[in-house]
Amino acid sequence: MAAIGDRWGLLILRDLVLGLRRYEDLRRSSGITNATLSDRLKHLEANGLLERQRYQFSPERFEYTLTPKGRQIAPALMLLAQIGDSWNDSNGNESPLKFVNRKSGADVGWTLVDLSTGKKLRPQDVEVQAGRGADDLMRWRLSQADRARKNLSDTHSR
Amino acid sequence: MAAIGDRWGLLILRDLVLGLRRYEDLRRSSGITNATLSDRLKHLEANGLLERQRYQFSPERFEYTLTPKGRQIAPALMLLAQIGDSWNDSNGNESPLKFVNRKSGADVGWTLVDLSTGKKLRPQDVEVQAGRGADDLMRWRLSQADRARKNLSDTHSR
């Protein structure tokens, strides 16, 4: 999250994932002011998510493209778009984007799978646990959440 | 994105997904100031992502839980956590959280699949197209991106 910065950072990443490259295109697409756009582009570059390359001298012009690290964000944006679509569906709106198999044209989507069996899972089949890199605060969060689940019924009768 | 608001909104959603419910727990977990936390909770409630329920009178105390709409965000947070982990891995850091199959304890993960065949795809197998709900600006973005890809080589020789 810190690397992305804020929703402007996320908007810029979305446009780069779509394939926009030029400053003017990014500005028109996002509607972000010049000051904010320049600042967020620098932030994303400093965090290793994008790189800029000069494509013109006098005046100097740059193109922006995702680094391999930045490209890793694309799947999450796709999933966020899917979620946004499911919210919009219930309002009768249709999807602004669709994601298809480049070869067959079939719709593609994200599925949760058990990595040992390859079988599809539902979100409620998944449990969150502390990982090896969990710090004290993360362990505390998980224990509080666990307690909240267990005490839910007697909390309301207190 | 507008419904989530900003990274504080996303942090709050993460804590609710983990299972925290109480104002004081959300405050301690996120480190957000009281003014900002109250504001973002109201924003998320107004956007239908969370609901609050009183669990104590004098003084009044509330619990916050995700609505069905809010719970839909959980998969994307999991995927964002996976991406963050893959960034951290290259710095030698370990994951703060792990996601496992509740029944078997096996690791779970997100996979991109062709929805007609159920086969696994790589991100580069996927093409983005304008959906039925695309507006003029979205069509323009996709055509600019398409043009940028096609003109990439002669752009640099101009």
Q: Supply the CATH number for residue B33's domain.
A: 1.10.10.10
Q: What mean pLDDT, rounded, does chain B reach?
A: 87
Could you give the angle at the alpha carbon of A135 between the alpha carbons of B69 and A141, nearest 5°? Answer: 35
**How far does B151 lie from chain A, in Å, by closest CA?**
12
How many folded domains does chain A comprise? 2
Select from A58, A85, A88, A113 the residue whose CB has the most chain B CBs within 10 Å, as the one to mutate to test that interface: A113
Rounded Cα–Cα distance for residues A2 and A78 (Å): 20
Phi, psi of A47, rounded to the nearest 5 degrees: -95, 10
Mean pLDDT lowest among B79-83, B111-115, B153-157 = B153-157
Give me the domain span that covers residue A42: 7-71
Which residues are paired to A50 by β-bridges? A66
State both tokens at B118. Answer: 């159920």
Residues of A within 8 A of B79 (CB-CB) are 75-76, 79, 110
Over residues B90-115, mean pLDDT: 87
B141 domain residue, yes or no: no
Residue A16 is predicted with a pLDDT of 94
Cβ neighbours around B10 below 10 Å, total: 22
Is A19 strand, coil or helix? coil
Q: How confident is the model at residue B37 (pLDDT cuts 50, 70, 90)?
A: very high
Is residue B5 scored above 80 in pLDDT? Answer: no
Rounded Cα–Cα distance for residues B101 and B120 (Å): 19
Residue that wins the pLDDT comparison between B148 and B115? B115
In terms of DSSP bridges, do strands B126-130 and A97-101 run parallel, antiparallel, or are they unpaired? antiparallel
Rounded Cα–Cα distance for residues A147 and B11 (Å): 20
A95-104, A124-133, B42-51, B81-90 — most confident range: B42-51
Rounded Cα–Cα distance for residues B40 and B7 (Å): 10
Is A90 strand, coil or helix? coil
Closest residue of chain B to A112, computed from CA coordinates = B110
Q: Which of B73, B128, B158 comes nearest A97 by C-beta?
A: B128
Residue A111 is predicted with a pLDDT of 85
Residues of B within 8 A of A129 (CB-CB) are 97-100
B38 domain residue, yes or no: yes
Helix B7-18 and helix B23-30, axial crossing angle in degrees, nearest 10 = 120
A115 and A60, same domain (yes or no): no
B51 domain residue, yes or no: yes
Is B87 strand, coil or helix? helix
B83, A75: Cβ pair inside 8 Å?
yes
Is residue B154 scored above 60 in pLDDT? Answer: no
In percent, the amount of chain B with pLDDT more than 90 equals: 46
A80 domain residue, yes or no: no
Is residue B153 scored above 60 in pLDDT? Answer: no
Rounded Cα–Cα distance for residues A89 and A44 (Å): 32
Residue A86 is predicted with a pLDDT of 72
CB B99 within 8 A of CB A127: yes
Task: Compute CA B147 distance to the chain's CA centroid, rounded to the nearest angstrom.
Answer: 30
In terms of DSSP bridges, do strands A61-66 and A50-56 run parallel, antiparallel, or are they unpaired? antiparallel
CB A8 within 8 A of CB A42: no
A106 domain residue, yes or no: no
Which of B53, B29, B26 minimizes the C-alpha distance to B40? B26
Per-residue pLDDT of chain A (158 residues; tens, 9 = 90+): 678 877 889 889 999 999 999 999 999 999 999 999 999 999 999 999 999 999 889 998 899 999 998 888 887 788 777 777 777 766 667 888 889 999 999 999 888 899 999 888 988 899 899 999 999 999 999 999 888 888 764 555 44
